[in-house]
A and B are shown apart, each in its own frame.
Chain A
Amino acid sequence: MKKTIAIIALIFISATSFAQNKNAKASLEVDGVCGMCKNRIEKACFKIKGVKSAIWDVKTHELQVIYNEEKTNLNEIHNSIAAVGHDTKEIKASDEAYDAVHACCKYRDDEVVDDHKDE
């Protein structure tokens, strides 16, 4: 009897721990400098099915995402952002992708960063 309870309990516990969050929240650091970057970063997130909300802060570089874990994961989000040319803490954008971003968004260039400082 005890065993059965234990097993049921175990199943429950594992079931809960595997149940995936439809509104998982995450905060990641994404490099960028301006409002155009913001558009590009947020749009890159929305390209992925399952991302419900994406808000990137120009000043803090913090991207807050809410996504459905059943449909996507953080890795995909990182990849999608890197693919449009923005470095995340985990994945650095390829040089081709970085080259494609608008001249005013060259966040790896200190001069460009300086230009945006007052915004």
Chain B
Amino acid sequence: MCFKTQYIAVCTCLYLFVQQILIVKLKLNISRSDEYKKMKNILYILFIFPLVIFSQEQISGKILEATESKKEAPLFGANVYWLGTSVGTTSDFDGNFTIPYDKSYTKLVVSYVGFKTDTIQVTSAKKLQITLEPKSELEEVTITSRKQTTAKSYLNATNTFTVSSDELLKAACCNLSESFETNPSIDVNFADAVTGTRQIKMLGLTSPYLLIATENIPSIRGASQAYGLSFIPGTWVESIQITKGAGSVVNGFESIAGQINAELVKPSTDDRLFVNLYGAINERLELNTHINTKVSEKWDTGIYLHGNTSSKKHDVNDDGFMDMPIYNQINVMNRWQYTNTENGFVSFINFKFLNDEKQTGQVNFDPIKDRGTTNAWGGEIDTKRYEVSTKLGYVNTEIPWQSVGVQAAFSSHEQDSYFGLNNYDITHNSLYTSVVYNSIISDSRNKFKTGISYTYDHYDELVNTTDYGRTESAIGAFFEYAFDNLNDVNITAGLRVDSHNLLGTFISPRVHARYTPWVKSALRASFGRGKRSANIFAENQSVFSTSRSINILNANGEIYGLDPEIAWNYGVSFLQGFDFFSRKADITFDYYRTDFQNQVVVDFENPQEVNFYNLEGDSYANSFQVEINYNVFENFDMRLAYKYYDVQTQYGSEKLEKPLVPKNRFFANASYETAISETNLSQWKFDATFNWLGKQRFSSTETNPLQYQLGEYSSSVGTVNVQITKVFSPKFEVYLGGENITNVQQYNPVLGADNPFGPYFDTTFVYGPIFGSNYYAGLRFRIN
């Protein structure tokens, strides 16, 4: 017996001695490396085990914390004690601990500040491994407020807000032009009374003055300017970023009032199967299908199909004209996504095809019989568009701030159309390529983007019998510097130099700055210059649906005989977040001014003519907006906005308010969601939007006979849209909605409807809804 005890004691001593030597040796060899830690752990386990077996009175283990990345890290200094005893210890640097064990001890308590205390049943002296959960994470589940569907940044230099897909679902229909209904910064109105085209405006300026991109490739420009927004189905859009003011120099020189970027759904993150069906009582039908699959470890692909049709002719106001065109659209996209996290390469390849057919005009118009005659007034717009785009990005996995992106896009847009006796055909082939390099100067507070871009646009354009074909090409270089003091200031300053075959060589400076004077606030300022060639016909296609004669005055310039448009935009914005009755709220004040140095003035002031000419005098757009977001109570959000526009242009000898721009606009949106049911994850969502537009100026009709005269101003209009969504499960939901439920209508949208081939016919005096109220229902089905 004595011998045995002695033997154990000697062994233990020897053992500890060897262990120490080994550890010291290892420390010397592989100091501080992970291997050392691993080895040490293994050694501890190896050495401690036999000791435990010999002595039978120690228990050991390791305490780990569950970190965000699902890795487990050792927890240093955790308290370990036997429940109801004073026997305790703390864990060491590697999370290891050893504690005396007795058979009467059964419950081991492990606690650590900031972590959930754990109590473990111990029945034998086995080695333990205990993982503690951080406390905050558990509590967050109950505390976290709902994510805002439209997010404003307190930190960016630019005045950008992101509209998430949740916000887009608030107005279920149907394409990008209709996705701004719940957004007060963007105004949506009809371009004319016959084509049903929605036009968007920001800061009082129409969409040609915005740079509209899909995934940062300028996409709605040139020939697609008029209808392009309706060629991007709403379900394809993952999120939209809206930047007010000059925007970045990276995507080109054309943006003047702002930038809108639509991020599309991505094969790797979109639902494996998504089906959306929509039907309205006006017999508009839409179908969207997404199918996404993982092809290999690194490749994902998706096919997105969209079809819409409306074949019923409506004439609610009995003027003989259809309130909206009848149409068919097929829109297909195939995306390939490559992701390699090991070497940092990512890539997208996209193919798109679109075929869109519209028929407008009088109800009794038969295209086969009546085209080119004065039997009945009508028109057709047939568009085919092919697009291929690719992106390749490389992020240096060693140096995260360094990245290179290459993008190239080619599109061919072909529109064949006629409006009454006016023919308009345009084919626009466009190539866009750019290379962007991101890195830092000295440290990550000073970032820069630099690169080059090349664009090529060829237009075959036929207006009645006049050929306006032309080629534009531009090569440009840009540099954008971003400074962030990690606290209250950041500045983005960009400059680009472009050499354009028709616009010449010019620079476009753009600067954005943000300053945070106190908590939860952001004061922003920006200025920038934009320059563009106006595609006067593509952008103003409504002029064809009139009897006006089309004139280009003093045609000595390069583009349709006109000069390029040049404008400066200046803006300030202030955002303040606050708590009101202990609920979250924020308020934003925006003031922007756009000053045109040159503009192609579109002059409707003579009711028999539309005149295009270079600006002589002033043209500016002042925009003031105040917006309040308030979370009134749990799951109930309110958004209120008021907007004031002062948009004036020199028309010949007179400076006048721009026609059809309301000076005052009021907007309110309320949305309520019930709590998500815990049993089947079902939920109700309610959404209502109220929009009020003040009076809008009509261009002069003074010289018309009395029956074809309009007042100086339109009346004001207020519309209400509502939608209810029932989410049955994450897989299936149904929605029901009403547009313009108070049935507000503009009764005389077509001037001279009684004699469409007479001199007073005009469809451009549209200030409000033509159709009246409309109700719709739809469903969404998804498998993740």
Q: Report yes or no: B399 in contact with A66, Cβ–Cβ below 8 A.
A: yes
What CA separation (Å) do A58 and B179 show in the bound complex? 37
Q: Report yes or no: B487 in contact with A39, Cβ–Cβ below 8 A.
A: yes
What CA separation (Å) do A23 and B136 show in the bound complex? 34
Q: Which of B136, B140, B444 has the most CB of A within 10 A?
A: B444
Render B131-151 as a binary contact track against A, CB cut-off 8 A, 1 for contact.
000111001100100000000
What CA separation (Å) do A17 and B251 show in the bound complex? 44
Q: Report yes or no: B134 in contact with A39, Cβ–Cβ below 8 A.
A: no
Does any Cβ of B come within 8 Å of A54's Cβ?
A: yes
Q: Report yes or no: B444 in contact with A118, Cβ–Cβ below 8 A.
A: no
Given contacts A59-B136, A117-B136, are A53 and B444 in contact (CB under 8 A)? yes
Given contacts A39-B486, A39-B487, A117-B114, are A52 and B444 in contact (CB under 8 A)? yes
Closest-by-CB residue of B relative to A57 is B68
Residues 44-82 of A at the B interface (beta carbon under 8 Å): 46, 49, 51-54, 59-60, 66
Given contacts A53-B400, A60-B67, are A46 and B139 in contact (CB under 8 A)? no
Write out the residue numbers on chain A whose beta carbons fall within 8 Å of the beta carbon of B579.
none
Write out the residue numbers on chain A whose beta carbons fall within 8 Å of the beta carbon of B68.
59-60
Render A1-39 as a binary contact track against B, CB cut-off 8 A, 1 for contact.
000000000000000000000010100000000000001
What CA separation (Å) do A49 and B445 show in the bound complex? 13
Q: Which residue of the partner chain, among B113, B140, B487, contacts A118 with CB atoms under 8 Å? A: B140
What CA separation (Å) do A54 and B445 show in the bound complex? 10
Q: Which of B68, B135, B136, B486 has the most CB of A within 10 A?
A: B486
Does any Cβ of B come within 8 Å of A113's Cβ?
A: yes
Looking at the assembled complex, report how far the CB atom of A69 sits from the nearest CB atom of chain B, in whole angstroms: 14
Closest-by-CB residue of B relative to A41 is B486
Closest-by-CB residue of A relative to B139 is A118
Given contacts A53-B401, A59-B68, are A113 and B113 in contact (CB under 8 A)? yes
Does any Cβ of A come within 8 Å of B679's Cβ?
A: no
Looking at the assembled complex, report how far the CB atom of B443 sits from the nearest CB atom of chain A, in whole angstroms: 5
What CA separation (Å) do A89 and B667 show in the bound complex? 54
Looking at the assembled complex, report how far the CB atom of A44 sits from the nearest CB atom of chain B, in whole angstroms: 11
What CA separation (Å) do A46 and B443 show in the bound complex? 7
What CA separation (Å) do A53 and B398 show in the bound complex? 12
What CA separation (Å) do A49 and B441 show in the bound complex? 12
Write out the residue numbers on chain B whose beta carbons fall within 8 Å of the beta carbon of A43.
486-487
Does any Cβ of A come within 8 Å of B442's Cβ?
A: yes
Write out the residue numbers on chain A whose beta carbons fall within 8 Å of the beta carbon of B143.
118
Looking at the assembled complex, report how far the CB atom of B584 sits from the nearest CB atom of chain A, in whole angstroms: 15
What CA separation (Å) do A42 and B486 show in the bound complex? 8
Looking at the assembled complex, report how far the CB atom of A87 sits from the nearest CB atom of chain B, in whole angstroms: 13
Write out the residue numbers on chain A whose beta carbons fall within 8 Å of the beta carbon of B135.
117
Does any Cβ of A come within 8 Å of B440's Cβ?
A: yes
Does any Cβ of B come within 8 Å of A110's Cβ?
A: yes
Q: In the complex, how many residues of chain B place their beta carbon closer than 8 angstroms to a beta carbon of chain A?
A: 22
Q: Report yes or no: A113 in contact with B399, Cβ–Cβ below 8 A.
A: no
Write out the residue numbers on chain A whose beta carbons fall within 8 Å of the beta carbon of B140.
118
What CA separation (Å) do A39 and B113 show in the bound complex? 24
Looking at the assembled complex, report how far the CB atom of A48 sits from the nearest CB atom of chain B, in whole angstroms: 9
What CA separation (Å) do A6 and B486 show in the bound complex? 51
Looking at the assembled complex, report how far the CB atom of A39 sits from the nearest CB atom of chain B, in whole angstroms: 5
Closest-by-CB residue of A relative to B445 is A46
Write out the residue numbers on chain A whose beta carbons fall within 8 Å of the beta carbon of B440.
52-53
Closest-by-CB residue of A relative to B442 is A52
What CA separation (Å) do A119 and B570 show in the bound complex? 37
What CA separation (Å) do A51 and B136 show in the bound complex? 32
What CA separation (Å) do A42 and B73 show in the bound complex? 23
Render A90-119 as a binary contact track against B, CB cut-off 8 A, 1 for contact.
000000000000000000001001000111
What CA separation (Å) do A60 and B87 show in the bound complex? 30
Write out the residue numbers on chain B whose beta carbons fall within 8 Å of the beta carbon of A53.
400-401, 440, 443-444
Q: Report yes or no: B399 in contact with A23, Cβ–Cβ below 8 A.
A: yes
Closest-by-CB residue of A relative to B400 is A53
Q: Report yes or no: B444 in contact with A110, Cβ–Cβ below 8 A.
A: no
Write out the residue numbers on chain B whose beta carbons fall within 8 Å of the beta carbon of A117.
114, 135-136, 139
Looking at the assembled complex, report how far the CB atom of A29 sits from the nearest CB atom of chain B, in whole angstroms: 9
Q: Which residue of the partner chain, among B67, B114, B398, contacts A113 with CB atoms under 8 Å? A: B114
What CA separation (Å) do A117 and B134 show in the bound complex? 10
Q: Which of B68, B134, B443, B487 has the most CB of A within 10 A?
A: B443
Looking at the assembled complex, report how far the CB atom of B400 sits from the nearest CB atom of chain A, in whole angstroms: 7
Closest-by-CB residue of A relative to B487 is A39
Given contacts A118-B140, A118-B143, are A23 and B444 in contact (CB under 8 A)? no
Write out the residue numbers on chain A whose beta carbons fall within 8 Å of the beta carbon of B67.
60
Q: Report yes or no: A23 in contact with B442, Cβ–Cβ below 8 A.
A: no
Write out the residue numbers on chain B whose beta carbons fall within 8 Å of the beta carbon of A51.
443
Q: Report yes or no: A59 in contact with B401, Cβ–Cβ below 8 A.
A: no
Residues 689-741 of B at the A interface (beta carbon under 8 Å): none
Write out the residue numbers on chain B whose beta carbons fall within 8 Å of the beta carbon of A119.
136
Write out the residue numbers on chain A whose beta carbons fall within 8 Å of the beta carbon of B400.
53, 66
What CA separation (Å) do A53 and B445 show in the bound complex? 8
Write out the residue numbers on chain A whose beta carbons fall within 8 Å of the beta carbon of B399.
23, 52, 66
Write out the residue numbers on chain B whose beta carbons fall within 8 Å of the beta carbon of A25.
398
Write out the residue numbers on chain A whose beta carbons fall within 8 Å of the beta carbon of B114.
113, 117
Write out the residue numbers on chain B whose beta carbons fall within 8 Å of the beta carbon of A52.
399, 401, 440, 442-444
What CA separation (Å) do A39 and B485 show in the bound complex? 9
Residues 424-460 of B at the A interface (beta carbon under 8 Å): 440, 442-445
What CA separation (Å) do A119 and B135 show in the bound complex? 12
What CA separation (Å) do A23 and B67 show in the bound complex? 26
Write out the residue numbers on chain B whose beta carbons fall within 8 Å of the beta carbon of A59.
68, 134, 136
Looking at the assembled complex, report how far the CB atom of A40 sits from the nearest CB atom of chain B, in whole angstroms: 9
What CA separation (Å) do A113 and B136 show in the bound complex? 11
Write out the residue numbers on chain B whose beta carbons fall within 8 Å of the beta carbon of A110.
113
Closest-by-CB residue of B relative to A59 is B68
What CA separation (Å) do A59 and B67 show in the bound complex? 9
Looking at the assembled complex, report how far the CB atom of B398 sits from the nearest CB atom of chain A, in whole angstroms: 6
What CA separation (Å) do A22 and B139 show in the bound complex? 42
Q: Report yes or no: A54 in contact with B444, Cβ–Cβ below 8 A.
A: yes
Looking at the assembled complex, report how far the CB atom of B93 sits from the nearest CB atom of chain A, in whole angstroms: 9
What CA separation (Å) do A59 and B115 show in the bound complex? 12
Render B470-508 as a binary contact track against A, CB cut-off 8 A, 1 for contact.
000000000000000011000000000000000000000
Looking at the assembled complex, report how far the CB atom of A3 sits from the nearest CB atom of chain B, in whole angstroms: 28
Looking at the assembled complex, report how far the CB atom of A62 sits from the nearest CB atom of chain B, in whole angstroms: 9
What CA separation (Å) do A59 and B134 show in the bound complex? 9
Looking at the assembled complex, report how far the CB atom of A88 sits from the nearest CB atom of chain B, in whole angstroms: 14
Closest-by-CB residue of B relative to A48 is B443
Closest-by-CB residue of B relative to A23 is B399
Render B21-41 as a binary contact track against A, CB cut-off 8 A, 1 for contact.
000000000000000000000
What CA separation (Å) do A118 and B140 show in the bound complex? 7
What CA separation (Å) do A112 and B68 show in the bound complex? 23
Looking at the assembled complex, report how far the CB atom of A90 sits from the nearest CB atom of chain B, in whole angstroms: 11
Residues 95-119 of B at the A interface (beta carbon under 8 Å): 113-114
Write out the residue numbers on chain A whose beta carbons fall within 8 Å of the beta carbon of B443.
46, 51-54
Residues 659-673 of B at the A interface (beta carbon under 8 Å): none
What CA separation (Å) do A70 and B140 show in the bound complex? 43
What CA separation (Å) do A66 and B486 show in the bound complex? 17
Render B390-401 as a binary contact track against A, CB cut-off 8 A, 1 for contact.
000000001111
The 3 closest A-B pairs by CB, nearest first: A53-B444, A52-B443, A117-B136
A-B contacts, 18 of them at CB < 8 A, read: A23-B398, A42-B486, A49-B442, A52-B442, A52-B443, A52-B444, A53-B400, A53-B401, A53-B440, A53-B443, A59-B68, A60-B67, A60-B68, A117-B135, A117-B136, A118-B136, A118-B140, A119-B136
Q: Enumerate chain B interface residues (CB-CB to A < 8 A).
A: 67-68, 73, 113-114, 134-136, 139-140, 143, 398-401, 440, 442-445, 486-487
Starting from the known contacts A53-B400, A54-B443, A54-B444, 16 additional A-B residue pairs (CB-CB under 8 Å) come to A43-B486, A46-B445, A46-B486, A49-B442, A51-B443, A52-B440, A52-B442, A52-B444, A59-B68, A59-B134, A59-B136, A60-B68, A60-B73, A117-B114, A118-B136, A118-B143
